[in-house]
Chain A
């Protein structure tokens, strides 16, 4: 008998389009991004998004271990998505599972096109994404955090990668599904975009959508991602502005 029983809400979305947490279909949960919070990592970022708390750390470019994985003409990019045992309502068995292996792969592939891997031949760039608290949409929050951590590490990139999930509940296309919508909604579509060219580097879909709904979802996702990109820019520049202000204030 599980200690925690999930309960499906009676209505996921009202006819007027009010969601279980009071949001409108196109609204996002509150997001906060902080950069450079880990001392020992070359780059790091912390993203809080709704109930998600996600930490990303980047090490490298550094020497490849084990040696035989070395690529002579470019950098190897490795990503690990991991959920803490205490990140879910019930304890999650620690260690990689089917889901986290898949997410590690899609996150790595979402980030890789942004990195100038040819600038660091024979080295490795390690990206670690630790989910401390999960509340739907951890993979896209992880992509946002990892992209910030890469920039913070001073790695040569074509541009940042920003990500957001969209979905469908009944006839409504919704932005940034919450836990209930993720569990009982009709469709869920995480997506990531390389911001310099606005090319999509991650697109998964779980659940049926009509062609029109898909187009609408894509458009909604793109707009949400553009908004998140502005937050990323601000997060990256903020520490430097804070120092500049304190220095100027002291003079």
Chain B
């Protein structure tokens, strides 16, 4: 048996269990090595071969939090010392309300939240199963006001942002809007008028459905130009 063979094309749609490569490769995300040493896909996605690393870029799936992620959450419950936050994930976010001496160094006005408030938060700590600690105790984090909340599939967030924020820059500049993209697939938009908002919504839909076909930036760009010139 030869030692290193790649069995798929780069950016090909692969299904769970599909053999991707055999031999000396590094395992990227969403792949695994079976008993016979073949590298296989874990999820439905696009094969991604970079140098000697094999990964799969998933096309769907729920949001699994990672430390340091920025997420947009909705306050779901407030009980005494904690604020529970829904972040569209199997795990509920928890923000402890500072008490005692801690209240001196934080801006306590930020914690004046009620149910249904939309907040921008950062994942402070996540143990992988039950405890998901969020924080709003940082510049720029906290309650979001005066805008609209849109959603895309969490798996498509990297495409909404693009390489070196290229896609996000297109979206922002074309629609003259403030856009905040949470890693959990929620997107906060403040646009000059309804027209830009609707155009943006269409653009996001396009990114979601056509993310696996190359040349996406150009298509989104022309869609926005067309929508806004009407």
Contacts and interface: CB of A to CB of B under 8 A. Distances in A.
Interface of A: 42-43, 60-63, 70, 72-73, 114, 116, 120-124, 151-160, 195-197, 232-233, 236-237, 240-241, 243-244, 247-248, 251
What range describes how many residues of B lie at the interface?
20 to 34
A241 B17 CA distance: 19
A63 B128 CA distance: 13
19 contacts: A62-B90, A63-B91, A70-B130, A114-B16, A116-B32, A120-B64, A121-B128, A121-B130, A122-B90, A151-B43, A151-B44, A154-B60, A154-B62, A157-B42, A232-B15, A236-B15, A237-B13, A240-B13, A247-B219
A159 B43 CA distance: 9
A153 B61 contact: yes
Given A61-B90, A116-B42, A240 B15 contact: no
Interface in B4-46: 13, 15-18, 30, 32, 34-35, 40, 42-45
Contacts of A237: 13, 15
B79 interface: no
Contacts, number: 100
B44 A63 contact: no
A248 B64 CA distance: 33
Contacts of B209: 243
Contact of B213 (A43, A63, A124, A247): A247
Contacts of A251: 215, 219
Interface of B: 13, 15-18, 30, 32, 34-35, 40, 42-45, 58-62, 64, 90-92, 128-130, 155, 209-210, 212-213, 215, 219
Contacts of A195: 17
Given A122-B129, A152-B60, A244 B34 contact: no
A223 B18 CA distance: 18
A247 B212 CA distance: 11
A159 B92 CA distance: 29
Contact of A73 (B34, B129, B213): B129
Nearest to A61: B90
A151 B30 CA distance: 13
Nearest to A250: B219
A197 to B, nearest CB: 7
A18 to B, nearest CB: 36
A196 to B, nearest CB: 4
Given A152-B60, A153-B61, A240-B59, A248 B213 contact: yes
Contacts of A154: 43-45, 58-62, 155
Given A116-B42, A157-B43, A233-B15, A60 B213 contact: no
Top 8 closest pairs, chain A to chain B, by CB? A159-B17, A154-B61, A154-B60, A123-B90, A121-B129, A122-B129, A196-B17, A157-B16
